[in-house]
Amino acid sequence: MRLAAVELRRLRLPLRAGGWREVVLVRVETPDGDGWGECAALGEPSYTAEYAAGAQAVLQEWLAPAVLAAGDLDAAGVGPALAGVRGHRMAKAALEMAVLDAELRAAGVPLAARLGATRTEVEAGVVLERAASVGALLDAVAAAVDEGWRRVKLKIGPGWDVEPVRTVRERWPDLTLQVDANGAYGPGDLAVLEALDAFALAMVEQPLAASDLLASATVARRLRTPVCLDEAVTSAAAAEAALALGACSVVNVKPGRVGGYLEAVRVHDTCRAAGVPVWCGGMWETGLARSANLALAALPGFTLPGDLSPPSRYLAADIAAPLRASGGRLAVPTTAGAGAAVDLDSVERATVVVLRVTPE
The nearer residue to Mg ion, 50 or 180, going by C-beta atoms, is 180
Q: Which stretch binds Mg ion (CB under 5 A): 64-72, 120-128, 224-232, 234-242?
A: 224-232
| Dist CA 59 CA 38 (whole Å) | 12
Q: Which residues contact 64 (CB under 8 A, 6 or more apart)?
A: 6, 8, 26, 95, 357
Least distance CB 186 / Mg ion (angstroms) = 17
Answer yes or no: are the C-beta atoms of 295 and 48 closer than 8 Å. Answer: no
How far is the first Cα of the chain from the last one, in angstroms, to the nearest whole number? Answer: 18
Least distance CB 289 / Mg ion (angstroms) = 16
Helix ranges restricted to H, the chain:
52-58, 64-68, 75-81, 89-107, 111-115, 134-146, 162-171, 190-195, 213-222, 236-245, 255-258, 261-273, 287-296, 344-350
| Dist CA 138 CA 127 (whole Å) | 13
* Contact residue for Mg ion among 38, 230, 285, 318 (CB under 5 A): 230
Helix ranges restricted to H, 198-354:
213-222, 236-245, 255-258, 261-273, 287-296, 344-350
Reply yes or no on whether 153 is catalytic: no
The nearer residue to Mg ion, 205 or 212, going by C-beta atoms, is 205
> Which residue has its beta carbon closest to Mg ion?
230
The nearer residue to Mg ion, 103 or 230, going by C-beta atoms, is 230
Least distance CB 189 / Mg ion (angstroms) = 17
Residue 182 φ/ψ region, left for φ over 0, alpha for ψ in the -120 to 50 degree band, beta for the rest: left
Size of site (CB under 5 A) for Mg ion = 3
The nearer residue to Mg ion, 7 or 50, going by C-beta atoms, is 50
Q: Which stretch binds Mg ion (CB under 5 A): 21-29, 61-69, 155-163, 178-186?
A: 178-186
The nearer residue to Mg ion, 101 or 205, going by C-beta atoms, is 205
Q: Which stretch binds Mg ion (CB under 5 A): 11-19, 76-84, 92-100, 174-182?
A: 174-182
Q: Which stretch binds Mg ion (CB under 5 A): 27-35, 37-45, 230-238, 337-345?
A: 230-238
* Contact residue for Mg ion among 38, 50, 123, 180 (CB under 5 A): 180
Catalytic-labelled residue, pool 254, 266, 268, 290: 254
Least distance CB 81 / Mg ion (angstroms) = 29
Catalytic-labelled residue, pool 114, 155, 257, 290: 155
Q: Which residues contact 69 (CB under 8 A, 6 or more apart)?
A: 359, 360
Reply yes or no on whether 92 is catalytic: no
Burial of 15 from C-beta contacts in 10 A (0-12 / 13-18 / 19+) = middle
The nearer residue to Mg ion, 129 or 170, going by C-beta atoms, is 129
Q: Give, in order, the Cα–Cα distances in Å from 201 to each of 174, 180, 183, 226.
A: 10, 11, 17, 8
Least distance CB 318 / Mg ion (angstroms) = 22
Q: Give, in order, the Cα–Cα distances in Å from 2 to each of 30, 32, 73, 78, 274.
A: 6, 9, 6, 12, 38
**285 binds Mg ion per the rule CB under 5 A:** no
Q: Which stretch binds Mg ion (CB under 5 A): 78-86, 91-99, 223-231, 325-333?
A: 223-231
The nearer residue to Mg ion, 58 or 233, going by C-beta atoms, is 233
Least distance CB 278 / Mg ion (angstroms) = 13
Least distance CB 336 / Mg ion (angstroms) = 31
Answer yes or no: are the C-beta atoms of 157 and 192 closer than 8 Å. Answer: no
**Which residues are known catalytic residues?**
155, 254
Q: Which residues bind Mg ion (CB under 5 A)?
A: 180, 205, 230
